[in-house]
């Protein structure tokens, strides 16, 4: 269900088509034209208020980033941040992850980021978790062979579940950190949730799961 408690958000998206492309389904197979280059495309699912994708875009100017966010009220904060920056390699889409195969063609995406995805802890809500096998099916369709899903969370239950889900799907777990902020990773870009939870003393879990061809 889309939250619409900021009704002006959608007008703001429409006013900024260079950052929030209209009719994303029509860009399917042609996202490199949107970015005017042939750089790889990395997709963040559940991009929230945009801190991660903007930080990553600054750190990786040779990568094109697309942020998918279901909630217009949340995504408008990402757009506001983006408008303050002079960044050309980020686009935002107010779309549902369930629809990614209508937005991207096969092999069009080189990496997927899932950051602090909603945990949906009840068993009966398993299918809503963004690491459930039906979502992995969708990512696999749009991603290049051997590409990776990078996943971070503070939620131990969701992390354990996701490791099982990736592994049951036949994915290779290349990096697994049970305490990211005390690990060797030097170029970590923090998300809003990551800052909030780590400030409260929560451990951050991270893994990189690679599809096999």
Catalytic (active-site) positions: 118
Could you tell me the smallest distance in angstroms from the CB atom of residue 122 to ligand SAM?
Answer: 15
Residue showing tokens 């699912």: 45
Binding mask 24-63 for ligand SAM (x = CB under 6 A): ---------------------xxxx---------------
Of 74, 78, 90, 109, which one interacts with ligand SAM (CB under 6 A)? 74
Enumerate the H helices of the chain as residue ranges.
9-15, 31-35, 51-59, 72-83, 100-103, 133-142, 156-168, 192-199
Termini Cα distance of the chain = 34
Of 66, 92, 97, 207, which one interacts with ligand SAM (CB under 6 A)? 97
Q: Which of 80, 99, 71, 74 is nearest to 16 (CA)?
A: 80
Local structure of residue 121 (DSSP, 8 states):
-
For ligand SAM (CB under 6 A), the number of binding residues is 20
177 binds ligand SAM (CB under 6 A): no
Quote the tokens at residue 105: 């063609």
Apex 75 CA angle, 201 and 123, nearest 5? 60
77 binds ligand SAM (CB under 6 A): no
Which span sits near ligand SAM by CB under 6 A: 13-21, 90-98, 101-109, 164-172? 90-98
20 pairs with which residues across the strands? none
Of 10, 126, 175, 192, which one interacts with ligand SAM (CB under 6 A)? 192
71 binds ligand SAM (CB under 6 A): yes
Q: Interface with ligand SAM by CB under 6 A: which residues?
A: 45-48, 68-71, 74, 96-98, 115-118, 191-194
């Amino acid at each position: 269900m889309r939250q619409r408690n900021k009704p002006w958000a959608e007008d703001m998206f429409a006013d900024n088509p260079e950052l929030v492309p209209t009719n994303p389904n029509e860009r399917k197979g042609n996202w490199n034209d949107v970015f005017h280059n042939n750089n790889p495309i990395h997709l963040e699912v559940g991009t929230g208020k945009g801190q991660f994708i903007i930080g990553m875009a600054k750190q990786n100017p040779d990568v094109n980033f697309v942020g998918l966010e279901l909630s217009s009220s949340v995504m408008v904060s990402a757009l506001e941040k983006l408008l303050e920056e002079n960044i050309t390699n980020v686009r935002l889409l107010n779309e549902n992850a369930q629809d990614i195969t209508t937005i991207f063609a096969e092999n069009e995406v080189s990496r997927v980021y899932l950051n602090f995805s909603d945990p949906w802890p009840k068993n009966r809500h398993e299918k809503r978790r963004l690491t459930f096998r039906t979502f992995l099916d969708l990512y696999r369709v749009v991603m290049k062979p051997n590409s990776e899903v990078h996943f971070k969370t503070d939620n131990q239950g969701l992390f354990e579940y996701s490791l099982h889900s990736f592994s049951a799907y036949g994915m290779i777990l290349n990096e697994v950190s049970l305490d990211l902020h005390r690990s060797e990773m030097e170029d970590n870009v923090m998300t809003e949730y990551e800052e909030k939870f780590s400030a409260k003393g929560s451990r951050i879990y991270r893994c990189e799961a690679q599809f096999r061809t």
